[in-house]
Structure 1
Amino acid sequence: MKTVRRLLYRDILSSFALVMAGFLGLFFFVDFIDDLDRFQRLGLGVGLALWSCALKLPGRFYELMPIAVLIGTIFSLARLAQSSEFTILRTGGLGPQRALGLLSTLALGFAALAFVMGDYVNPWADRQAQLLKSRASGGVTNAAGAWMKDRDGDYSYAVHVGRAKANGVMEEVLILEFDPKGAMATRLTAKEATVDPGGRWQLQNVRLMQWSRAPTPLGRLTGRTTDAPNPDSPQDKLADNPTVRELLLPQYSWQSQLPAGVVSAAVQPTWNMSTLELYRYTRHLSSQEQSSQQPEIQFWRKAFYPFACMVMVALALPFAYLHFRAGGISVKVFGGIMLGISFVVLNAVAGHLGMLRDWTPWLVASVPSLLYLGISMAAFWWLVRFR
């Protein structure tokens, strides 16, 4: 059995590596052509363009892995079936259950590789790519902005970040504090801010407006400052409305209940988050009664993504039991590849429909994989039983 395992694994892995290398080479060339002109206009040179494209390869690898697993496994098993090598293995004692067990172990290896690439390698490479991109865009990596909610006892906060830099600095920060009755107590704006691991915000160039109807002299938000403002300071300006106090502070410290990971997740795209970061972000949105449908679907899709590699191996297994002498191998292999592409398309369409129809996120992410796994197992059973 060790010889059979070595034969199958070596053939499938070599085919997978060949297919993946072809895909990565194609996408690297396309990305390089796309980035070369932009980097040259900024005077950054060809070397940085090459490095930028290289940092995109882990993400491409992660995206293309199910398709590469399917094509590589189909090509390997179909070739073994055409040359009658698989038939000889079956005659030598490789029954359907043993064949399924051998490929299941290999599928688990593919799933583990997809998990490592998606949760560790790709996020790291994406952060490095964002740092490189920030050099070309003046330091800004996310100009879309993000809203977050926070709560401390009876007080609630609405936090908006206008832009985020690759080094963790946030720009154009707005914090609105609401008292227990829902009335605005404090409005704070800052040009820049950073968040430490404990959730403490360090803000720079702060403009703070405080309404006197707040139950405390400076409100709970202003009460968190490490350097309390002096009411007699020249920067303490009385607005035209005597019930409003305006303060200008060079530095300000605010202890938030928002973890640094949640803040980072809110200002970066969800597709490059790890599974754990997505989980924490969705739990925070749910606890703050914010809409979490999209990040929850993204979380479950990422959690089930390694399982998709196992489904691709299962889809390829029936091709080992086809009689390729009765028809062209290329047509049957092409049909299997189109079946795998249809799985990817259905997975993407299900995600969009789930957001539009407000379906249960884990069902949206799991149903395509379970459906195609059932189709592959039914085809495998029918070929073994009747062919």
Structure 2
Amino acid sequence: MRLIPRIHDIYVGRNVLFTVLVVWLVLLGLDGIMALSSESKNIGVGSYTFGHALAATAYTLPRRAYTLFPMAAVIGALMGLGQLAATSELTALRAVGVSRRRIALSVAIALSLLTALMVVNGETLAPWAQNRADMLKTSAKYNEDLSVERYSGLWAREGNTFLNAMTGEEVLDGDKGTRLVLHNVRLYTLDADGRLAMLTYAATATHDAKGWVLAKVRRDVFGERSVTQQQVESELWNSQLDASALAAGLAKPRNLSAGELKTSIEYRKRNGLDARDYEDTYWSRWFYPLNVLALCLAAVPFAFGSLRSGGMGKRLFLGMLFALGFMLLQMFFGRMAGALKFDYRIAYALPPILMLAISGWLSRRRVG
């Protein structure tokens, strides 16, 4: 099979790209409107306004485009090929000697361009914009001085004390609800002249119903010509910092690039922390291109069968059903990997393999 693009490759690829882009824009528009409606419920909380809701929704669009692209790709590919099948153009291509494999390759090459764009978006614009959206909502709703820096974690201010935590998470606390645990915490206390008066390091800062507790505390108190050091195993921290605001301001795995996720996974494993959420997101990024292309290639054989006699509604229904089935299968294997603690690479490799195998089996049955 010659890999040099021919006019029929360009024609098939152009039709598929057009329908994918249309479906993608429609899904993104609907998702954006629903997100704006959901954000509007927070108007009036703190200083949160409609302008904040609109800006926060706009910031999330790159991430939403990244998330919706696999579904848009399979629905658009099925609709594009279905239109060619309904007008007998696929039959004409087959009659002049164009194989199914060649048509599938034309679809794969066309979609690989958009997939590559989404991979770049998922590593650059989407995490940055989502982080901006989260911080915008948190700052407006809780009226807290919060910031999440790329390499230095969470920052918050209370009076003349500045808190820095490298990472943290909310954990279940039995029947008592959840508690917030911050790791590698530093508290910088300034005097009236703005000079550093005290530096407190704590391995963890935990907030529950009783308040804040610092564990494995080391404190340096700076005098004019001296430094006094204190160490305690744990102590109460009298702070009015809102734990909900801090939890909302923590950098979530979806807001990190693959490199930052890998660094976070290594850090959490070194310190005996649970890294499964980060591993899940990390390997989903690596398998994203494979999943998109495998999903679309697995759907291609349907265009040669029942879609010839079906209308737009049938193509749309089958595309959504196929995409939804794949997403549920992938979610199932991902949850099983987290629960049973087996390799996430296996969890993300199995769904595309199963989809391709089922599609190949159905295709052979039709041919036979």
TM-score, with normalisation over the residues of structure 1? 0.67
Aligned equivalent of 1:279: 262
Contact 1:35 1:49 in 2 (8 A): yes
The reply on whether 1:304 has 2:287 as its aligned counterpart is: yes
How many Å separate the matches in 2 of 1:192 and 1:319? 62
Q: Write the letter of the residue equivalent to 1:77.
A: L
Query: Partner amino acid for 1:295?
Result: Y
**Paired amino acid for 2:90:** F
Whether contact under 8 Å (1:77, 1:319) holds in the other structure is no
2:187 corresponds to which of 180, 184, 191: 191
User: Is residue 2:103 matched to residue 1:110?
Assistant: no
Give distance in 1, aligned partners of 2:330 and 2:201.
47
Query: Aligned partners of 1:204 and 1:80: how far apart in 2?
Result: 73
Q: Aligned residue for 1:206?
A: 199
Structure 2 CA distance for partners of 1:172 and 1:116, relative to 1, 3 Å: closer
Q: 1:165 to 1:206 in 2, by over 3 A?
A: closer
Q: Does 1:122 align with 2:126?
A: yes
**CA distance in structure 1 between the partners assigned to 2:198 and 2:56 by the alignment:** 34
Kindly provide the amino acid, as one letter, of the partner of residue 302 in structure 2.
F
Q: 1:203 to 1:312 in 2, by over 3 A?
A: farther
What secondary structure does 2:199 align onto?
A: strand
Corresponding letter in the other structure for 1:370: I
Note if contact 1:133-1:141 (Cα within 8 Å) is conserved in structure 2: no
Name the counterpart of 1:29: 33
Cα separation, 2, equivalents of 1:203 and 1:376? 66
**Superposed CA offset, 1:282-334 (max 9, x none):** 22333444433332222112211122110221122112211545566644652
Aligned to 2:174: none
Which residue matches 2:11? Answer: 7
1:262-296 CA distance string (max 9 Å, x none): xxxx9411122111111122223334444333322
| Distance in 1 (alpha carbons) for counterparts of 2:15 and 2:269 | 47
8 Å Cα contact 1:297-1:351 kept in structure 2: yes
CA displacement, residues 341-370 of structure 1 (integer Å, 9 cap, x when unaligned): 011011112111111111122111221122
Residues 77 and 316, structure 1, Cα contact 8 Å, conserved in 2: no
In structure 2, the CA distance between the partners of 1:337 and 1:294, relative to structure 1 (3 Å rule), is same
Partners of 1:111 and 1:307 within 8 A in 2: no
Over alpha carbons, which structure has the higher Rg? 1
Aligned length: 305
Alignment pair present for 1:58 and 2:62: yes
Structure 2 counterpart SS, 1:38: coil
Kindly provide the amino acid, as one letter, of the partner of residue 84 in structure 1.
S
Three-state SS of the structure 1 residue aligned to 2:187 is: strand
1:191 partner letter: L
Separation in 2 of the partners of 1:59 and 1:189?
A: 30
The alignment status of 1:338 with 2:331, answered yes or no, reads: no
Give the superposition deviation at 1:38: 2.5
Consecutive unaligned residues of structure 2, counting only runs of 5 or more, are: 167-183, 190-194, 203-216, 233-248
Name 1:158's counterpart in structure 2: none
Any conservation in 1 of the 2:75–2:320 contact (CA below 8 Å)? yes
Q: Sort the Cα spacing of 1:27 and 1:76 in 2 relative to 1 into closer, same or farther, 3 A.
A: same
Identity of aligned residues (%): 23
Change (3 A) 1:293 1:75: same
CA distance 1:27–1:328, change in 2 (3 Å): closer
Q: 1:365 to 1:41 in 2, by over 3 A?
A: same
* Secondary structure in 1 matching 2:124: helix
Matched, 1:83 2:87: yes
Cα separation, partners in 2 of 1:295 and 1:323, compared to 1, 3 Å:
closer
Aligned residue number for residue 146 of structure 1? none
| Cα deviations by residue, 1:152-193 (Å, 9 ceiling, x for unpaired) | xxxxxxxxx8x6459xx972659xxxxxxxxxxxxx974349
Q: Which residue of 1 aligns with 2:143?
A: 138
Q: Contact conserved, 1:81 with 1:320, CA < 8 A, in 2?
A: yes
Q: Tell me, what secondary structure is at the counterpart of 1:171?
A: strand
Give me the whole-angstrom Cα distance separating, in 2, the residues matched to 1:326 and 1:374.
25
* Mapped partners of 1:206, 1:89: distance in 2: 73
Amino acid at match of 2:131: R
C-alpha deviation, 1:84, in angstroms:
0.4
Q: 2:22 aligns with which of 18, 31, 42?
A: 18
Q: Name stretches of at least 5 consecutive residues in structure 1 with no aligned partner.
A: 144-160, 175-187, 194-201, 210-220, 245-265
Q: Distance in 2 between matches of 1:294 and 1:44?
A: 30
Aligned CA distance change for structure 1 residues 236 and 206 (closer, same or farther; 3 Å): same
> How far apart, in 2, do the equivalents of 1:336 and 1:24 lie?
17
Q: Equivalent residues in 2 for 1:166-245 (5 A)?
A: 171=163, 190-192=186-188, 205-207=198-200, 229=222, 236=228
How much has 1:71 moved relative to structure 2?
Answer: 0.6
Equivalent residue for 1:71, pick from 71, 75, 97: 75
Alignment check: 8 A CA contact 2:32 2:57 kept: yes
